[in-house]
């Protein structure tokens, strides 16, 4: 449960940053995906909601894996501290990997590198394709980072199991 709450909060904040980079990523794709095209709420509220819906389940699965494969085996005296440390590892890794995704996107979309994504641009009627692709890379890398973060956190927790 803690994992779902942390991931939902992370997703909400993450998507606020993403929206700042490319509002179109949300208005032209995510709003449709999450059924918010006719929402009466302000855009930032919708984005926060999407962030929670897109990430809570990742935290639930990651938290469950961490609990089953290590945290519950820890002595009670250190369990809570190691739990928070494990989630900090996951969040930090996801954020760092997302940043790597942004840098990768900057290179991949520089100087003529947008041609391979023109079909997406036309299909979704995107004006700022480069910003859209930067956010797409950021999101995909962030999910990969969450998986890597859970694996690193599992190793961290296993090192403290007696």
Looking at residue 162, what is its pLDDT?
A: 61
CB 29 within 8 A of CB 131: no
Looking at residue 137, what is its pLDDT?
A: 95
Looking at residue 110, what is its pLDDT?
A: 86
Looking at residue 5, what is its pLDDT?
A: 93
| Host domain of residue 40 | 2-160
Q: pLDDT digits over 9-54, tens only? A: 999 999 999 999 999 999 999 999 999 988 899 999 999 999 999 9
Question: Which residues of the chain carry a pLDDT beneath 50?
Answer: none
Looking at residue 13, what is its pLDDT?
A: 95
- State the total domains in the chain: 1
Query: What does the H/E/C string look like for the chain?
Result: CHHHHHHHHHHHHHHHHHHHHCHHHHHHHHHHHCCCCCCCCCHHHHHHHHHHHHHHHHHHHHHHHHHHHCHHHCCHHHHHHHHHHHHHHHHHHHHHHHHHHHHHHHHHCCCCCCHHHHHHHHHHCCCCHHHHHHHHHHHHHHHHHHHHHHHHHHHHHHHHCC
The per-residue pLDDT of the chain, averaged, comes to 91
Looking at residue 15, what is its pLDDT?
A: 96
């Amino acid at each position: 449960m803690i994992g779902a709450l942390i991931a939902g909060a992370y997703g909400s904040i993450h998507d606020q940053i993403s929206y700042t980079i490319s509002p179109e990523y949300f208005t032209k794709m995510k709003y449709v995906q999450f059924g918010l095209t006719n929402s009466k709420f302000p855009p930032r509220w919708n984005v926060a909601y999407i962030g929670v819906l897109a990430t809570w389940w990742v935290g639930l699965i990651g938290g469950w894996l961490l609990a089953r494969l290590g945290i519950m085996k820890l002595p009670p005296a250190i369990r809570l501290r190691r739990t928070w440390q494990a989630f900090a590892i996951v969040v930090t890794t996801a954020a760092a990997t997302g940043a790597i995704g942004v840098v990768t996107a900057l290179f991949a979309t520089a100087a003529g590198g947008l041609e391979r994504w023109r079909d997406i641009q036309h299909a979704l009627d995107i004006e700022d394709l480069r910003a859209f692709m930067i956010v797409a890379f950021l999101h995909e890398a962030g999910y990969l980072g969450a998986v890597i973060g859970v694996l690193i956190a599992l190793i961290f927790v296993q090192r403290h199991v007696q």
